[in-house]
Each structure stands twice: as structure tokens, then as C-alpha cells.
Amino acid sequence: MSKFWSASVKRLTPYVPGEQPKLANLVKLNTNENPYAPSPRALAALQAEIGAGLRLYPDPNSEHLRAVIADHFGFSADHVFVGNGSDEVLALVFQALLKHEKPVLFPDITYSFYPVYCGLYEVPHKTVPLTDAFEINVDDYAQPNGGIIFPNPNAPTGRLLALGEIERLLQANADSVVVLDEAYIDFGGDSAVPLVKKYPQLLVVQTFSKSRSLAGLRVGYALGHPDLIVALTRVKDSFNSYPLDRLAQAGAAAAMQDRDYFETTRRRVIATREKLVADLAALGFHTLPSGANFIFTRHATRDGAELTTALRDRSIIIRHFKTPARIAPYLRISIGTDEQSEILIAALREILG
């Protein structure tokens, strides 16, 4: 460790992103990227934005993009916040809304960036164990807290919490901010965004990276009561007043407006997921119910780390988590194209003999 580091830096355990390997003929199923290209309208909007205007700063308030998102969900723009990927939005959420004396609550198996943010911003936190079936039990959150956050569907399990349970959680936590990280909601669940009009403590975070195929553009957003949005904006403007560049704003707005393309690719991913689950079952895998563009699955007799290595030797990359111990047997597999799924299944047949 460098002697020049701040003491807080020495204490950090940074987030480890999914591997981006440079392998020939790679079947990449490890980072939950969409296997299909972005909307043609989005690509055209990006191309149109390239020109002399890039010498100028972008709109610091992303007014057009916020208006498009608001219109899509039936809100006014003052209910919308945008940031450089949903990770940045979440980082600002921890600073602006979740840093209190009481601990923020989140599941023990969930998006591993949450404890990283708590360490970085010195936010007290407490993990709440998932059930034996890897589900969130909202009754377990009936305890003092400075806020609640979790993905829905959860990651890496893919399990979905029903809207009725979310509303029950909101009713029991009227004095705490509840943040729903809906990065994967478009692949099998009903968004909690309509509940924003009823519950002022609810903030819903979404992204353009998954269902709209724009992971390379880095655009995320949040929907909530204007009071919550003002808090996020105050922190944003104290950190980076221009989080989204001109290309990101233009491309994301066009992608949001292309609803037909969104529906087509979303349904293709869901169909591929269901077929993959069936094919894996025939090979002895048990897969958790998934509402995401990935699955969490384990083989009846073979070790998860062993299978991950064997697939990598065949240029197929998936994700394996060693901790906590109860998820070590599982593989997280992103949903690719039908062709990629067939390559994966053929490789597993060979590995399993």
C-alpha cells in the first residue's frame, strides 16, 4: 500500500467487475450484456450527434432525455434523475439518501457493489439473509433501518419479488427510503415505477445497459418523488455536473422511444432463457426461477468452479461466485443468442460425459 494513500482508501475492498477477456471465438456469457445490437434509431441518433457540437459541453440537466423517460412512464420530468450508468446513480443514492445513523439493509446475497459503496461513503449497513430458497422475505426487513435497497430481480440469483410484497414492504417502512434496483426488470417482472405515485419514499433505479443494449453508452436513471430527485441532484452537482455526454443523451432518448425494437429483443431473450433452462434440466441442472437476462443454476453432482474452468477451456465464459459458501455450487449464465446457448449446451454435454 502506498504511503500516500488516504486512510479510507486502505480500508476499501473494491468491486470486481465481470471479466472482459480477449479470447478468440469467445462465447461471452458472464456480464449480462444484451446479445442483440442497440436500436437502429439509437445508432442513427448517435451518428447524427457526431459533429462540431462536440466542442460544447452537454446539457448538464439532460432535459430532453429526462422528458423522454418521464413521458414513457407517465411522469413529469421532475420525477426523473439520470446518471453515468446505474452504478453512478446508485453511488449518489448511497450518499444522498441512505447515509443515516441507522444501518441500510440489503440481502446477504445481492449486487456486490452495495457493501463497496457502504465502505466508500462510510454508510452503516446490515445484511439480511435470503431464505433457503434464495428469496427475499419482506418480514425480515421489519427492523430499525436507515433505508432498504435490493435488486428486483435480485442478482445474482435472478429471483423476482412480487409487487404485492414490495408494497407490503413500503407500507411497513414509511419513514425509510426504499430503493429498488430494477436493472433486469424488463426480462420477466412488473416494474414498481407505478408505486412511486403512491409512496414518496420509493426510488426505482433502471438502466439502458441491459434491455436496451446500451451497456457501452453508460446511462442509468432513477424515478421517484421530486424531493428524492432534488437530493440526488444536489450531490451530483457537487461531484460532476456533466455526467452524461451528448452522445449518451441522444442515443438513450432514441432507444427509449423505439418501443417496438425493445419489445422484440426483450421477448427473444426471454424465449432463449426458457429454452436454455429446459436444456440444462435435461443435463441434470437445477435452475432458480429467473426474471432476468441471466440464470443461476447448479448441477446435481458437479462442482461449479470445476464446470466454470472446463467451459473456459472451451472459450465459453460464465460467472462463478466462490462466496458465500452456499452459492459456490452455482453458475450465473447470461442469456445470449440461441446459437450461443447451443454451443454452451454442447460443451456441457461433452464435459459431463
pLDDT in tens, 170-207: 999 999 999 999 999 999 999 999 999 999 999 999 99
pLDDT reading at 1 higher than 70: no
Mean pLDDT, the chain, as a whole number?
Answer: 96
Cβ proximity of 222 and 80 under 8 Å: yes
Cβ proximity of 219 and 238 under 8 Å: no
Sign of CA dihedral 8, 12, 14, 15: negative
pLDDT in tens, 132-167: 999 999 999 999 999 999 999 999 999 999 999 999
Q: What is the mean pLDDT of residues 118-136?
A: 96
Q: Report how far residue 11's alpha carbon sits from residue 191's, in angstroms, rounded to the nearest whole number.
A: 36
Q: How many Cβ atoms from other residues are within 10 Å of residue 303's Cβ?
A: 13
pLDDT reading at 295 higher than 70: yes
Q: Report how far residue 45's alpha carbon sits from residue 247's, in angstroms, rounded to the nearest whole number.
A: 8
pLDDT reading at 335 higher than 90: yes
pLDDT of 11:
84
Q: What is the mean pLDDT of residues 314-330?
A: 94
3-state class (DSSP) for residue 334: strand
**Cis ω for the linkage preceding 144 (within 30 of 0):** no
Q: What is the mean pLDDT of residues 295-312?
A: 96
Q: Report how far residue 215's alpha carbon sits from residue 231's, in angstroms, rounded to the nearest whole number.
A: 26
Structural domains in the chain plus CATH codes? 20-37+260-352 (3.90.1150.10), 40-257 (3.40.640.10)
287's enclosing H/E stretch is: strand 285-287
How would residue 10 be classed by pLDDT, with cut points 50, 70 and 90?
A: confident
All residues at 6 or more sequence positions from 223 whose CB lies less than 8 Å from its CB, including other chains:
69, 73, 75, 79, 80, 81, 193, 196, 203, 204, 206
How would residue 22 be classed by pLDDT, with cut points 50, 70 and 90?
A: confident
Q: Report how far residue 256's alpha carbon sits from residue 82's, in angstroms, rounded to the nearest whole number.
A: 13
Hey, what's the torsion of the CAs at 15, 21, 27, 33, to 10 degrees? 40
pLDDT in tens, 25-76: 899 999 999 999 999 999 999 999 999 999 999 999 999 999 999 999 999 9
Cβ proximity of 186 and 160 under 8 Å: no
Q: Cell 428469496 appears where?
A: 135
pLDDT reading at 225 higher than 70: yes
Q: Report how far residue 305's alpha carbon sits from residue 307's, in angstroms, rounded to the nearest whole number.
A: 5
Q: What is the mean pLDDT of residues 117-122?
A: 94
343's enclosing H/E stretch is: helix 338-352
8-state DSSP, 25: T
Q: Report how far residue 35's alpha carbon sits from residue 28's, in angstroms, rounded to the nearest whole number.
A: 9
pLDDT reading at 319 higher than 70: yes
pLDDT reading at 96 higher than 70: yes
Q: Report how far residue 337's alpha carbon sits from residue 111's, in angstroms, rounded to the nearest whole number.
A: 25
Q: What is the mean pLDDT of residues 255-273?
A: 98
pLDDT reading at 89 higher than 80: yes
